Structure 1
């Protein structure tokens, strides 16, 4: 069986000065929270795509973002536009001020229902679905100054 075509994506683990993580809520598939991000456009690299997605989804100007290292990677087969693809997501650390995230300036809300800053205890305690699995462990490591030397493979 031929594997589905590869679909590259960039996502941002957005942290504020208090190491709260910014997540977006979507209603599809029973509802879930996830990090900002999306597919690369033609000719884009992953860091450029991550900055573009922050601007489009949350109105964050790229000059207000301290974009750091790639923290993680995740591969997932799913439907995009009615066809099966293997989405390969790279997650980058992004530090921003809470004031710089202004969804009223967003240009592409892509069915985002809500955005919210989560503390690590809130993230660990929630019964809501959060993608990717293991995000709280990744945020905890960064909060403790243990940024991974190589991207962590997430499910």
Structure 2
């Protein structure tokens, strides 16, 4: 069996001062879900640069307003993007943002993003909505309780 092509991606777990996490609502590939901002790396781009670019493209965030931290997690899975099967390999970075810095009216490439919302940990705990990545709540609560992990955590 032939493996699908690898698509390197960078995603951000953006928290505000109230410890809420920023998620984007998407509709694509037959489902609606909430996910962290981010996307594929462009040629010659590293993961940190991709996170900053994606925040600007998806939410109009000026990179000087982003306090970008270290890589917290990684995930690899087969999925369909734009009708093509790929092996998505993602790195998740911690960042601090102020809610006013995210304004979808300034987005340059909103893709299929329907909305953005700041979620409390309690709202994540109680929702029946689909949230990606799986394990996001546990990752955030672990970081808030114990600090940044020494090595990136592998998400399923």
The TM-score bracket by the shorter chain reads: over 0.9
Q: Which runs of 5+ in 2 are unaligned?
A: none
TM-score, normalised to structure 1's length? 0.96
Question: Which residues of 2 match residues 1-150 of structure 1 at below 5 A?
Answer: 1-28=1-28, 29-150=30-151
Moved over 6 A (4+): none
Report the Cα offset of residue 76 of structure 1: 1.4
Report the Cα offset of residue 26 of structure 1: 1.0
TM-score, normalised to structure 2's length? 0.95
Q: Which runs of 5+ in 1 are unaligned?
A: none
Whole-angstrom CA distance in 1 between matches of 2:148 and 2:80: 32
Q: How many residues align?
A: 155
Whole-angstrom CA distance in 2 between matches of 1:22 and 1:123: 11
Range that drifts further, 73-82 or 93-102:
73-82
Q: Deviations over 1:26-64 (max 9, x none)?
A: 122321000000000011000000000000001110000
Whole-angstrom CA distance in 2 between matches of 1:64 and 1:73: 24
